[in-house]
Structure 1
Amino acid sequence: MELKPTGIPGLDEILGGGIPRPSTVLLAGNPGSGRTTLGLQSLCHAASEGEKVLYVCPTSKSEKAVRDSLEGYEFYNDSLNIRTYSISSVERDPLTMLVDLGNAVAGMKPDRVMIDPVTPIGFGFPEAERRRFMYSLNSAMGEWNAIVYLTGTMTTSEVCRSVISDIADGVIYLSQNIGKAYNDRRLKIVKFNSAGYLEGEHSFEISGSGMKLYPRLEHVVTESYGNAERTGFGIWQIDGFLGGGLFRRSSTLIEGNTGTGKTLFGLQFIVHGAMNGEPGIISSFEETPQELRQYAANAGLDLKGLEEKGLVSILYTPPSGINACKHALQLKQMIEGTGAGRILLDDISGFDDVFDDNTKKREHILNLIRLFKNSDVTSMFISNDRTAGRDTLTPSAPISPIVDNLLLLRHLENGGEIVKSFYILKSHGTDHEKRLIQYEVTGEGIRISGFRKED
């Protein structure tokens, strides 16, 4: 069977290349989840590529009214053939519709057909008779030699019980969770008659231009991550405490209380790489790009100048607007577009509003780490420890066990004064410094206390 593109950004990647022709695909979901948009966008894309497409619409509206409502979509193609049927008639007498539709398909020979929705057809029949009708419809569709989309308003349990799921070659389930800031829309492949599709839930958005999907980030290991090459902060004492710096492709977590300078450690890491010709990316969930530039300037770091040279790129995403799959795709595209060798995520608590529990958050960040390692990128994550009164040597971030390096920043009292200190709790493959290290945040950046250059 030939795989045909859907024309929907991200969907072909999820499906493993496209939709086989011929095949029948059920697009199911709750009201407003985007089933019709998905099907129509695919039909109109196919029409723009020269395919014959037919939109079958059981409705109370006229064909003109249906066409007028579709013209609001940017992807609409007026070569779309539309055939309407009275919804009250198809509920009571679906056989008449089946005969008429069969004649229409025989005359047109469309490459793609969409019946939207299919669930009301034969609704007035007893269940046994309705099942027999659906098998007759399936037999007819098998002779069309086309890609057929069927849409239906169904819950997940109804999908499992429906005869339509039995006759369909593929079942795609769409859902939405209506939130305060935005609707969280998800797509899931329940079954598909082609190998290689991506399992799990995938995010998507709907706008005036149609639907766009963001495939779920997979935990894929493509090569060995071992690398003896060192990189670092560019602060000779810190790199020395780490045995000569961070290993390239490694992942580092910097966790600390508010005001300990966590972001400055991250900016120092990015700026040092950029100044040595290694492009960097900053993904910020709290500080805006302008705030980051000002903070860096106050510490003597020319972040703005490095941006202007194309050596640093900033992706700002407010916590209320984070879509984890979309964010991961943006980072992947930025890495590919800039050739970045370093990346900073500040602060990963921004994911707290996205994931229900720490397990899902940890899994997502682990997949990000694998993406960065596979892309030959050294990564750094910032996490704010909001838990007061905890053991100073115990990190709170759920990803602390999965990173290669862990620096814990703390405010400590010393002789009536508050001092900034950090511990290197771990650094894989390195005999790192075990002592408490005091530092200061100055107008010239981070300065390690009590050390001279000759030390």
Structure 2
Amino acid sequence: MHFLSAGVDNGETSLYINLGEPGDYVKETVEHFDLNPDGIHFLDLSPSHEDFDEGENYSVFTSAEVEQPSFIEELRSSVEELQPDRVLLDPITEFRYLTTDERQFRKQILSFLDFLRDNGATVIFTSQASDSLSDDDLQFLTDTVINLETDIEGSTLFVSKFRGSSFQRGIHSYEITNDGVTVFPKLLPGTWSPQNTAETSDKLSSGIPELDQLLKGGLDPGTVTFVSGPTGTGKTTTALQFIKEAAGRGEKSVMYSFEESPGTIRKRSRSISLPIEAMLEQGTLSIEEIAPNEYTPNEFTSRLQTAVEDEGARIILIDGLQGFKQNLRGYTTDPEDVLLRIVRYLRAAGVSTIITNEVTNITGEFRVTEESVSNLADNVLFLRYVETESELGKVIGVLKMRTGDFERSLRQFEITEYGIRVGEPLEDMQGILTGTPRLQKTHRDARSGDVE
């Protein structure tokens, strides 16, 4: 119906040949989706209640022998009269019941399609295949095959044939809402064409001098950064610190939150003097909460593409790698494959990507991620709990930066009511990453003069 409506919008003649659903039901559907019902011509050849009258029963001849001549003649005369540019046959499988022979059916379909093409029409037909009745013979006759499938996880489509042209392969998502059909193509990094991208060579600063010293000035634009650490260490706050600095120079950021609500994020930010409210009001930051099973991977990546290509986002924050893997709907999709396509796309678009990742170990064995995804990162910034003198503290460090040098030191990390505070390098301690650091060398206590 979208196909026919688009033809009307272009000043073309569109014809709907109805072989299945009752004609009034079809028209109501078109009107519901506001698809130019007044501009579409309807030829209703669907069964009616009159077909069940006693006088319509066939006792000597088959239905094909009785109905076929008038049926075909009505089709032919309607096409010749309207000369349509676009034709929809719904469903073409009804033609099977107008012949008792498969060879005759195939010949009949070929003849009718040739007749439509000779009249200059572009034709779409629907087919209802089943395990007991295949439509492979119909697919063989066509130039294009679009397959629609649906289950409890959602609706998908894929193109298995497109004669004379290339097409985007893979399984794509679609949904039907009050606005009609919306398709969410599978994200392909190679489809990005950065025509109007604002290039910048400036590093992405955190606004915290000590943290920028760790990063030798900041993050390179267009790179992927993992902020990793146990729960409560300040991963999201650290990521938002970079976004705050980008907002100060007018760059737009989008935060996809998989684990916290926007209200919680705003409240927590106010408590540490992070100006999230001002950024939201100015439009330099958007926060989208992604609820469990709300989107398929393709729906999510389509939203991300819109943020980058239509809204001009220069920084994307995926807050909660575990939530990202668990919340997206679609059990047939590998979350790591989706993440790989996302980061490759964003790199190609020159967009800086920050991903927060939670590890389960509070202290003890040092791990960057719970899954083998750290190879996707250009930069890894990690936070770590440490125990000193029966007190729990935090440290921050950089594990890698592919595009430049970085400081190898670990620094004390603290979140206060005034924001993040990063200390000087911890030069006198070792075993920090084990969670139980100890002094590495002697130093003199300035107050007592004792050697420790």
TM-score w.r.t. length of structure 1: 0.79
Q: Deviations over 1:385-438 (max 9, x none)?
A: 347888313422443101100123333333333222334221113332334433
Task: Report the Cα distance in structure 2 between the residues aligned to 1:436 and 1:69, rounded to whole angstroms.
Answer: 64
Equivalent of 2:176, from 206, 218, 233? 206
Residues 405, 150 of structure 1: alpha-carbon distance in 2 compared, 3 angstrom cutoff: same
3-state SS of paired residue (1:71): helix
Task: Report the Cα distance in structure 1 between the residues aligned to 2:278 and 2:124, rounded to whole angstroms.
Answer: 52
Q: Which amino acid aligns with 2:151?
A: N
Percent of aligned positions with the same letter in both sequences? 27
Task: Report the Cα distance in structure 2 between the residues aligned to 1:266 and 1:91, rounded to whole angstroms.
Answer: 73
Equivalent of 1:192, from 162, 166, 170? 162
Residues 404, 72 of structure 1: alpha-carbon distance in 2 compared, 3 angstrom cutoff: same
| Corresponding residue for residue 364 of structure 1 | 338
325-334 or 225-234, larger mean C-alpha shift: 225-234
| Corresponding residue for residue 327 of structure 1 | 300
Q: Which amino acid aligns with 1:205?
A: E
Residues 188, 450 of structure 1: alpha-carbon distance in 2 compared, 3 angstrom cutoff: same
Is the Cα–Cα contact under 8 Å of residues 409 and 422 in structure 1 kept in the other structure? yes
Kindly report which structure 2 residues correspond to 1:151-170, keeping only aligned pairs within 5 A, or say none: 151-154=126-129, 162-170=136-144
Equivalent of 1:381, from 346, 351, 355? 355
| Corresponding residue for residue 11 of structure 1 | none
Task: Report the Cα distance in structure 2 between the residues aligned to 1:429 and 1:200, rounded to whole angstroms.
Answer: 33
The runs of 5 or more residues in structure 1 that have no matched partner are 1-39
Deviation at 1:336, TM superposition (A): 4.0
3-state SS of paired residue (1:106): helix
| Corresponding residue for residue 44 of structure 2 | 84
Task: Report the Cα distance in structure 2 between the residues aligned to 1:56 and 1:91, rounded to whole angstroms.
Answer: 21
Q: Which amino acid aligns with 1:127?
A: E
Is the Cα–Cα contact under 8 Å of residues 96 and 105 in structure 2 kept in the other structure? yes
Kindly report which structure 2 residues correspond to 1:407-418, keeping only aligned pairs within 5 A, or say none: 407-418=381-392
Is the Cα–Cα contact under 8 Å of residues 54 and 113 in structure 1 kept in the other structure? yes
| Corresponding residue for residue 401 of structure 2 | 427
3-state SS of paired residue (1:216): coil
Equivalent of 1:97, from 44, 47, 71? 71
Task: Report the Cα distance in structure 2 between the residues aligned to 1:273 and 1:196, rounded to whole angstroms.
Answer: 40
Is 1:72 the equivalent of 2:32? yes
Task: Report the Cα distance in structure 1 between the residues aligned to 2:6 and 2:92, rounded to whole angstroms.
Answer: 22
Is the Cα–Cα contact under 8 Å of residues 111 and 147 in structure 1 kept in the other structure? yes
Where relative contact order (Cα < 8 A, 6+ residues apart) is larger, the structure is 1
Q: Deviations over 1:176-204 (max 9, x none)?
A: 2224xxxx221211111342421112222
Kindly report which structure 2 residues correspond to 1:240-259, keeping only aligned pairs within 5 A, or say none: 240-259=213-232
Q: Deviations over 1:143-195 (max 9, x none)?
A: 23211111012269976x6111011110011112224xxxx221211111342
| Corresponding residue for residue 55 of structure 2 | none
Deviation at 1:138, TM superposition (A): 3.1
| Corresponding residue for residue 14 of structure 2 | 53
Larger Rg: 2
3-state SS of paired residue (2:44): strand
CA RMSD of aligned residues (A): 3.1
Kindly report which structure 2 residues correspond to 1:300-315, keeping only aligned pairs within 5 A, or say none: 300-315=273-288
367-376 or 111-120, larger mean C-alpha shift: 367-376
Equivalent of 2:411, from 414, 431, 437? 437
Is the Cα–Cα contact under 8 Å of residues 222 and 350 in structure 2 kept in the other structure? yes
Kindly report which structure 2 residues correspond to 1:232-271, keeping only aligned pairs within 5 A, or say none: 232-271=205-244
The runs of 5 or more residues in structure 2 that have no matched partner are 52-62, 427-452
Residues 368, 98 of structure 1: alpha-carbon distance in 2 compared, 3 angstrom cutoff: same
| Corresponding residue for residue 263 of structure 2 | 290
Is the Cα–Cα contact under 8 Å of residues 229 and 383 in structure 2 kept in the other structure? yes
TM-score w.r.t. length of structure 2: 0.80
Task: Report the Cα distance in structure 2 between the residues aligned to 1:99 and 1:244, rounded to whole angstroms.
Answer: 78
Deviation at 1:230, TM superposition (A): 2.0
Is the Cα–Cα contact under 8 Å of residues 227 and 249 in structure 1 kept in the other structure? no
Is the Cα–Cα contact under 8 Å of residues 204 and 242 in structure 2 kept in the other structure? no
Deviation at 1:110, TM superposition (A): 0.6
| Corresponding residue for residue 58 of structure 2 | none
| Corresponding residue for residue 137 of structure 1 | 112
